[in-house]
Amino acid sequence: MNPSWPLPQEDPWSTPFAESLLAQLKLHPGLTILDVASGDGIPAFYLAEQVGPTGRVLAIDLSQAQIRRARFQQGPALPWLEFVCMDLRALPSTLPSFDRITGNISFMFFRPNRFEALQGLVSHLKPGGQVVFTFPSLGTFDSLWERIDREMAHRHLVHERQALADYVAERPSAEHVTQWLEDLKLEQIVVAEDPLEVKTGPGPAFLHHPLLRGGFLDDAYDCFQDQALAEKVMVTVSDDITSFVPLLALRCTMSAWKPHGSM
C-alpha cells in the first residue's frame, strides 16, 4: 500500500523513532490500536490508514493543545481514528482492550512510576496482542550531560550537579524495560537500540535548537535554582560544542506479545 498519510520526512526526531516502531509492529486491516502520548499524530495517522475502516485507532495525549492540532490536521478523514485528551497513567476502567498498544517516544512520559504505567496499559491489551514503544534510553546525549557536569564542577555547583545526575540516572535503560516486560509475563520480547545523531551548531543554534529547546535542554535548565546562572553555564557549554559532538540519542524500541489465554 502506498500511504496517503506517510510519516513526515521533514521531521528529524519523531519520524526516525516511528520508523523503528513500525519495523517491529505487526499490522493488518481490522486491528484495534491504542496509541499513547500520540502528540501531533506521528504515527497515529499512518496506523489508522493501515488498519482501515474495519479497524479503530484511539490516540490519547495529556496535552489538549496537541490533541487540537491533530484533530485539525485530520479534518473529516479517517473517521475510525479518534484523538482524545486522556492520561495514560489513569486509564478509565471502561476502556476496552486492544489488539495493539503503541507509543512513539512515549515511555519517557510514564515517569515516575514507569513499571506501574506499563502494567496498566498491558491490562488493556488483548491476549495475543502486541505492545510496541519507542523512547530515548539511558545514554542519550551522554556527551552533553558530561560537558554540562564539567562546567558545573568548575563552578563548584554541588546542588546543580546532583540534580543533573538524578535526571540522567532516571532515564530507563534497555535492560530495565526488558526486565519489566519479563515481569509482566510477556513473550517474544525484543528490545533494540540504534543511535540517532542530532546535528547542531554552536551558540544560539544550540541553545535554541528546535529538537533540544522545549525538551532536553529545558531539563538541564531545570537543574538550576538560579536561571541567570543556568544561562551563563549553558552559554559557555554552547560555545564548546566540539567537546560533545556528535550528539547521539539512543533510539530504543521495545516490543512484546501478550500470551494467548492470559487475562
- 161 and 91 fall within a common domain: no
- 73 and 114 fall within a common domain: yes
* Mean pLDDT along residues 164-179: 92
Taking the C-alpha atoms of residue 128 and residue 64, their distance in angstroms, rounded to an integer, is: 32
Task: Report yes or no on 228 lying in a domain.
Answer: yes
- 148 and 132 fall within a common domain: no
- 193 and 156 fall within a common domain: no
- 54 and 69 fall within a common domain: yes
Q: How confident is the model at residue 107 (pLDDT cuts 50, 70, 90)?
A: confident
- Look at residue 1 and tell me whether its pLDDT is greater than 60: no
- 118 and 229 fall within a common domain: no
Q: Which domain covers residue 252, as residue numbers?
A: 14-137+172-197+248-257
- 110 and 154 fall within a common domain: no
Query: Which of these, 253, 8, 259, 12, lies nearest to 133 by C-alpha position?
Result: 253
- 96 and 151 fall within a common domain: no
- 92 and 128 fall within a common domain: yes
The confidence score (pLDDT) of residue 261 equals 78
pLDDT tens by residue, 58-99: 999 999 999 999 999 999 999 999 999 998 888 898 999 999
Measured CA angle at 7 (ends 201, 110), to 5 deg:
75
- 130 and 36 fall within a common domain: yes
Task: Report yes or no on 93 lying in a domain.
Answer: yes
Neighbours of 77 (CB within 10 A): 12
- 72 and 193 fall within a common domain: yes
- 162 and 130 fall within a common domain: no
Number of domains in the chain: 2
Chain mean pLDDT for the chain: 94
- Look at residue 108 and tell me whether its pLDDT is greater than 90: no
- pTM of the prediction? 0.92
